[in-house]
Chain A
Amino acid sequence: MKKYFEKIVLDGISFKVENGEIYGFLGPNGSGKSTTLKILAGVLKPTSGRVEVEGIYVVSNPVEVKKIIGYVPETPTLYESLTPAELFSFIGGIRGIDEKILKERVNRFVEAFEIGKYMNQFIGTLSFGTKQKISLIASFLHDPRVIIMDESMNGLDPKSARILRELLIRFRDEGKSIIFSTHVLPLAEMICDRIGLIYEGKLIAEGTMDELREKAQEENLEDIFLKLTKSKDDMANIIQALQEVL
């Protein structure tokens, strides 16, 4: 459970992500996805409840957990007046990554996401998408066993989005656990092994695509989503109301 002071925003959420699995986390805006992911990453503390990553308790041992997690936040908040090269060095230093390995990893990622020309520019002056790429690389540098991503496809150009997608599939095949939230339903449908649907702080459905289809009696994920979050019926009314004022 997570309370933001008075308000309960997460309640009775419980799920497990296996090794070698991609878990998709869906839900309307404000339903509690980011809060859940932050708690998993040890960035935020739950008001009550137990969170375990690879056998380590996140609440009592956040530093150890952060060593094996790569967390990509919803909005990249990085040091604006460092350059990407300096930021990666910074992360390497804090995480104690061997310099040679670090260099190699950075070089590969920089090539893959085509950000070589920005490497000596201050992060504050870069576009949102470029910052997002840097934020992604920043959380992959230590080769984490668990990857937590919060709407990380936002702002990526098609090529980088594709690379990231392929990368995630590779990571899964290597046995890493991946959990990510997204509003890009086709992506979720395509790569997720299991999907959790969160609505107003509660996990209202969970399972493979087939299991979800069964439950909602709908074919594609968008319809499943709308039906389970009870937004399907009033859609026409909403559109009608908007047209009246515009």
Chain B
Amino acid sequence: MMNIVQYIYREVHYRIVQKNPMLKNNPARYNHALKIALSMKKALSYQFLSYLLFGFFSGMGVFVISSLDVISTYVVFLSIIPFIFAVFITSVQGSNVVYMGVFEPLKSLPLKLGSKYLSFYLLLEILPSLGIVLPTSIVIAIKYPLPGIISFFWFLAGIFLGHIIGLLILVLFGLKIRQRAGKSELLVNIVRAILFFLFFGIFYAFVYMQNYIMEHSGEWAGLIGRYSIIFPFSSGTIFHPLFSTILLILYLALLAPIYYLMIHRIWEGIMEPRVVFGEKEIKGYKIKSKPTIFTLIGKDMKILIRRTALLAGFLITLYIVFPQIFMVLSTGNFPILNAVIILIMIGAFSAGGIDAILKIDINAIEFLRTLPLRKRDFVIGKIISMSVVPWGIGMAILIIALYYNGLYALILIPHVFLLPFIASSVVMLYYFHYKEEDIGIPDLKKTDLVVLFLILMLIMGIISIPLIFHLVWVSEVVAFAIFLLLLIFLRR
């Protein structure tokens, strides 16, 4: 059992190290990276410890807080972190495992429900993130033992829920191989994306349930009324241990069967990738020759739409920004300044799609290296591919803003286009600044992602300073200056 999980772990990490161009020509670093990557225990405990360091500081914060309300609010926010980790790692890493063909050798072995190994493997990758929340639970437990322990269970529940959502993404998007290209694939994928959002609808159904219970029951009404029973808010109930525990058990009862179902579906998908035949056989075929950059972007888009597991990662900016847009719109008006703030948020989160964008080429990297392709062209293509989703969302924001504010909203246009480009360029420059011309897939360490995110926050922060004084124009000029600066870097 552990053997197989370990095999998956080693195989995935071996391949990731192999594809990393920065290590290829540096034997010392390569050997080091390989050693860490191949030793599961070492890598995981190393990660756990570095998260623990983060967690330690946030845990210390709780120590000085005396208000129970503040502590439970804090727990609510903290529980989002392992949850998001779980969603992200399960969907993105899970699809990579399947996409890279790590399961192929296992198929010929007499394994029953091999997808449980995939699930265990993914959970193993997620577990280090507990380091972020563990100290907080301990600190709470020192003062209030039972709530402290329950808070830990809520963190675990968050991971489980996130893992299940990730598995759902895999089931919906990640496992199909289509035989023929056709127009309908885009449509099918849009339907799937809608299905995915409907899953979140389950949680909105909880809200109605909550209202119903509140109206029909006496003593619990106060409690249920006070807390939303939807995760992550549900983890704010820790100071009502009985209520909280019952809620936890309810969650488990709901999630366990869903989990079992997902595992089954995934194994079926892996063993027999459903080959979907597209439209009837097309007689002729089209051969086109376009300029390099367009060719690269066209290839990225085609593969993203077809490899739906990658699509899930590609759309990640949308998942993050969607609730914010929803919240702002529910207030009934949409001042320009709010629109700008959302656009800046989109910019900051544009980097979310990077993993998917780079994984597109992971299996064809040798082939790419046989072509006379310059690294610069490759990078620029990727920057634009990466900006597509944020541009799309930005455009939607622009239209909404036009509706509420009239033509004045056109002032947003520079932000709509510049910010995602700036964010994507920064990310790509961060990863591809190495000297060699070799094209490769840089390894995305979580610490790198954190550093990058901080850099992006900084840049977006600079761009938003003028907004404090309501000077949208100035903010745009700043953005444009940064844009020009990046262009100069990119030309190198």
Interface residues of A (CB under 8 A from B): 3, 5-6, 41-43, 45, 62-67, 69, 71, 73, 76-86, 88-99, 102-103, 106, 117, 119-122, 124-125, 138-139
Beyond A66-B370, A89-B288, 5 additional contacts (C-beta under 8 Å) are A63-B372, A67-B372, A77-B363, A90-B299, A93-B294
Interface residues of B (CB under 8 A from A): 25, 27, 30-31, 177-181, 275, 278, 281-282, 285-292, 294-296, 298-299, 302-303, 306-307, 361, 363-367, 369-374, 437-438
Whether B367 lies near A94 (C-beta < 8 A) is: no
Whether B181 lies near A94 (C-beta < 8 A) is: no
Residues of chain A contacted by B298 (CB below 8 angstroms): 90, 93
Residues of chain A contacted by B27 (CB below 8 angstroms): 3, 5-6
Whether A5 lies near B31 (C-beta < 8 A) is: yes
CB distance from A164 to the nearest CB of B (A): 18
Q: Can you offer 13 A-B residue contacts whose CB atoms are under 8 A?
A: A41-B370, A42-B369, A62-B437, A63-B437, A77-B363, A79-B299, A82-B302, A89-B287, A89-B290, A93-B292, A94-B371, A97-B289, A138-B367
Whether A94 lies near B373 (C-beta < 8 A) is: yes
Query: Roughly how many angstroms separate A3 CA and B290 CA in the complex, as a whole number?
Result: 39
Name B374's contact: one of A6, A63, A85, A103 (CB within 8 Å). Answer: A63
CB distance from A35 to the nearest CB of B (A): 13
Residues of chain B contacted by A42 (CB below 8 angstroms): 369
Whether A85 lies near B367 (C-beta < 8 A) is: no
Name B290's contact: one of A79, A84, A93, A125 (CB within 8 Å). Answer: A93
Most chain A beta carbons < 10 A, residue from B289, B307, B367: B289
Query: Roughly how many angstroms separate A86 CA and B367 CA in the complex, as a whole number?
Result: 15
Query: Roughly how many angstroms separate A84 CA and B287 CA in the complex, as a whole number?
Result: 10
Given A62-B437, A63-B373, A120-B181, CB of A93 within 8 Å of CB of B291: yes
Residues of chain B contacted by A99 (CB below 8 angstroms): 287-289
CB distance from B95 to the nearest CB of A (A): 13
Whether A81 lies near B180 (C-beta < 8 A) is: no
Query: Roughly how many angstroms separate A88 CA and B294 CA in the complex, as a whole number?
Result: 15
Whether A122 lies near B180 (C-beta < 8 A) is: yes
CB distance from A14 to the nearest CB of B (A): 23
Query: Roughly how many angstroms separate A63 CA and B438 CA in the complex, as a whole number?
Result: 10
Residues of chain B contacted by A102 (CB below 8 angstroms): 287, 289
Whether B287 lies near A120 (C-beta < 8 A) is: no
CB distance from B423 to the nearest CB of A (A): 26
Whether B306 lies near A122 (C-beta < 8 A) is: yes
Given A5-B30, A120-B180, A124-B177, CB of A85 within 8 Å of CB of B287: yes
Name B372's contact: one of A79, A86, A94, A124 (CB within 8 Å). Answer: A94
Given A122-B180, A125-B275, CB of A85 within 8 Å of CB of B285: yes
Residues of chain B contacted by A96 (CB below 8 angstroms): 289, 291-292
Query: Roughly how many angstroms separate A89 CA and B25 CA in the complex, as a whole number?
Result: 32
Query: Roughly how many angstroms separate A99 CA and B289 CA in the complex, as a whole number?
Result: 5
CB distance from B339 to the nearest CB of A (A): 36
Residues of chain A contacted by B278 (CB below 8 angstroms): 120
Whether A106 lies near B287 (C-beta < 8 A) is: yes
Whether A93 lies near B285 (C-beta < 8 A) is: no
CB distance from B299 to the nearest CB of A (A): 5
Name A64's contact: one of B285, B296, B372 (CB within 8 Å). Answer: B372
Residues of chain B contacted by A125 (CB below 8 angstroms): 177, 179, 275
Query: Roughly how many angstroms separate A151 CA and B30 CA in the complex, as a whole number?
Result: 29
Residues of chain A contacted by B179 (CB below 8 angstroms): 121-122, 125
Residues of chain B contacted by A92 (CB below 8 angstroms): 287-289, 295
Most chain B beta carbons < 10 A, residue from A3, A41, A103: A103
Query: Roughly how many angstroms separate A90 CA and B370 CA in the complex, as a whole number?
Result: 13
Query: Roughly how many angstroms separate A119 CA and B180 CA in the complex, as a whole number?
Result: 9
Whether B181 lies near A83 (C-beta < 8 A) is: yes
Query: Roughly how many angstroms separate A225 CA and B434 CA in the complex, as a whole number?
Result: 44
B291 (CB) vs chain A CBs: closest residue: A93
A5 (CB) vs chain B CBs: closest residue: B27
CB distance from A175 to the nearest CB of B (A): 21
Residues of chain B contacted by A62 (CB below 8 angstroms): 437
Residues of chain B contacted by A73 (CB below 8 angstroms): 366-367, 370
B288 (CB) vs chain A CBs: closest residue: A89
- The 5 A-B residue pairs whose C-beta atoms are closest, nearest first, are A93-B295, A92-B289, A85-B285, A66-B372, A119-B285
Residues of chain A contacted by B438 (CB below 8 angstroms): 45
Residues of chain B contacted by A6 (CB below 8 angstroms): 27
Residues of chain A contacted by B370 (CB below 8 angstroms): 41, 43, 66, 69, 71, 73, 139
Query: Roughly how many angstroms separate A106 CA and B296 CA in the complex, as a whole number?
Result: 20
Whether B180 lies near A77 (C-beta < 8 A) is: no
Name A86's contact: one of B302, B366, B369 (CB within 8 Å). Answer: B302
Query: Roughly how many angstroms separate A84 CA and B179 CA in the complex, as a whole number?
Result: 12
Query: Roughly how many angstroms separate A102 CA and B180 CA in the complex, as a whole number?
Result: 22
Query: Roughly how many angstroms separate A97 CA and B371 CA in the complex, as a whole number?
Result: 13
Query: Roughly how many angstroms separate A218 CA and B180 CA in the complex, as a whole number?
Result: 52
